[in-house]
Each structure stands twice: as C-alpha cells, then as structure tokens.
Structure 1
Amino acid sequence: MAPGMFKRIYNFLMSLFWSKELDVTMIGLQNAGKTSLLRVLAGGEFTIDSIPTVGFNMKRVQQGHVTLKCWDIGGQPRFRTMWERYCRGVNAIVFIVDSADREAIPVAKEELHDLLSKPSMEGIALLVLGNKSDIPDHLDVDQLIEQLNLKLIDHREVSCFGISAKEETNLDAVMKWLIARANK
C-alpha cells in the first residue's frame, strides 16, 4: 500500500463518521467587514478594497473535522430583509459591527433586535463581533454589550468578542466558539 494511502483512507473514514457541518450566517451593516472576515477565516488574505456584497456569498471553512458553511449576507438596507431567511435554522448567527463607527451602532442595534424578535430566530446562538479593533477609539467589548443592549437578549446563547479581520486579532477565539457549536 502506498505511504499516503492509509492516511487518505483514515481521513475518509473519519469524515464519514465524525465530521460535522455547521451552518453559520454572517450579518451586519454594510462596511462592517463581513466579507473580509470570511475571506481571512477561509485562509485567504485581507484586502483593504473589498467590494460590497450584493446579495450573498457562501464559503466553506474547514477546521479539523468541522466544516463551517458560512453565508455572508449583504448589509445594505435593501438586503436586510433577506437576513431572516438566511438565519432560519442555522447553528449560529454571527453579527458583525464596525466597532470604530460609533454613528452606525444605533442602527446596528435596531436591526439586530428586530431580527431576533422574529419567532423563527428563537434559540439560535448569537456571536457579536466588534470588528476593526485595530482602529484607535473603537468601542471595546463592554461598550458594545451596553450600546447594543446585548444583556436584553434572552432565549439563546450570546457572546461578544472584539476582533480585527485585518490584523487577524482574536480570530482563534471566534473559531473555537463556532466549533463548540458542533458539539452541542
């Protein structure tokens, strides 16, 4: 048997019996960094000149025996009505905000709470990411929790992290949190 053949057979069998796929939807206002974050998580490079998402993108992110099927939904007002459709039945909703854009926080809060008030969103885990933590004067996690009224959200698991897709800050914690959903 060829040297790599056993490893391929082993990995194939592992994928049959122990692999898990999670559905994750990434939402947030335009220019929050959803596409950039997804590109970096999928092993690509950060690009400063990302084109705004029209509609949605989907990428698979592999981590060990867990595959994250990530939907990246456009954040412009005309696409926000699609958020609920793409969030139904997922393992987790990742809500990304630009933590350096203080003027956008009230709109982000309103959109998030509006989405989570829908009966179809009941019980879906929520991860809020304050992106662009590399920019001076960004909101920290405690400020995001307060300004987005995250303590008012119940009937689901809620976590909040500060990240930088550009600097790849805290992305290991994001992946650990998402992969932990596979074990629930």
Structure 2
Amino acid sequence: MGLFSGLLNWLRSLFWSKSMDIACIGLQNAGKTSLVNILTNNQFSESMIPTVGFNLRKIQKGNVTLKVWDLAGQPRFRSIWERYCRGVNAIVWVLDSADRETFSTSRAELHALLEKAELKGIPLLVLANKNDLPDHATVDEVISALGLATIRNREVSCYAISAKSSRNIDITLAWLMKRA
C-alpha cells in the first residue's frame, strides 16, 4: 500500500503541482530576508546580515513551490530590481512601517520600478512590516504615503505584518498561493 500511495502522490505532483516566481523587494532594513526566513522555516533572527545582491530561496507549501528572489535594498543594488522582477508571478514590496522617514524614498523607488514596461500587469503585494513596533504606520497611512491608489493596470494589495511575531503571515501566504 505504501508503494502505491507514494506512486499516486508522485503522479499528483506531476499534474497538479504549481510553481511561482516572486520578487521580494524594498529598501534596506525593511525585513525582506526576515520575511523569507519566516515563510521558509518559520524562524526569526534578531541579528540579520544585510543581503548583498540577492538570495534565491525555494519554499514548498502544499503543492506549490515558491521561488523567491530576495533582493538587496541598498541604493547600489536597486538598478538590478527590474531584471529580477521580469516574468514573476508577483512583486512583494516590503516596507518598514515604523520608519516613516523612508516612506518618500520607498514611494519613489516603487513607482519608478512599476513604470517599467516589462513589469506591466504583475500583481503587487505591499507588506507594511514591523507592525509590532510602536508608532508603526497603519495600512491606510501606507496606502496614502506610497500612493498605492494611483497605481493602475495591476492588482495591488496591502497588509500590515510582523515577520518577527508572524502576524498576518498566513494572509500573506494565502494571497501568494492564490496567484500560483
């Protein structure tokens, strides 16, 4: 019986498995790598080393394999963002919702990226991370600060999350899985 069920599961994976590519981007220190670590192995670390260039992680959730490009957010790496966003199923923009001083830069970088013709129509998920910190921005404040209501010709969603406490990671994952 074990051999038969193993064969059946393998056949199911051939016909019903899905994969999706995701670009996880945003300014430095927004929590992109922490988010990817929570999605991958449900582990958070207080001591993170800034990403240099990019990291590629594969995450298996049920019959869906997520291939996540975790892109560095420092100014010198922002020119590579477009290259890794081409052809993805979703762009995940991570924002430090407690660092309001970065909102205008984040808005400018996000809109500059979304203006690229090659990225037209790719769904956008904005994650206002670090909502466990005092004085974090609300979802409505983030929508306003980043000008999300002005974005046209693509699906746009915004959630408040905390990679540290795993708050709303479930709805983030559900949003991603629906686009697989």
Is TM > 0.5 for Structure 1 vs Structure 2?
yes
**SS of structure 2 residue aligned to 1:129:** strand
Name the counterpart of 1:78.
Answer: 76
Q: Which runs of 5+ in 1 are unaligned?
A: none
Q: Does 1:115 align with 2:113?
A: yes
**SS of structure 1 residue aligned to 2:41:** coil
In 2, distance between residues paired with 1:10 and 1:170? 34
Q: Which runs of 5+ in 2 are unaligned?
A: none
Superposed, 1:27-176 pairs within 5 Å as 27-176=25-174
In 1, distance between residues paired with 2:5 and 2:103? 49
Name the counterpart of 2:11.
Answer: 13
- Large movers: runs of 4+ above 6 Å: none
Q: Which amino acid letter does the alignment assign opposite residue 162 of structure 2?
A: S
**SS of structure 2 residue aligned to 1:42:** helix
Q: Which amino acid letter does the alignment assign opposite residue 51 of structure 1?
A: I
In 2, distance between residues paired with 1:42 and 1:145? 27
Name the counterpart of 1:22.
Answer: 20
In 2, distance between residues paired with 1:152 and 1:127? 15
TM-score, normalised relative to structure 1: 0.96
**Once superposed, what is the RMSD of the aligned Cα atoms?**
0.8
TM-score, normalised relative to structure 2: 0.98
**SS of structure 2 residue aligned to 1:111:** helix
Aligned pair count reads 180
**SS of structure 2 residue aligned to 1:12:** helix
Q: Which amino acid letter does the alignment assign opposite residue 142 of structure 2?
A: L
In 2, distance between residues paired with 1:44 and 1:123? 31
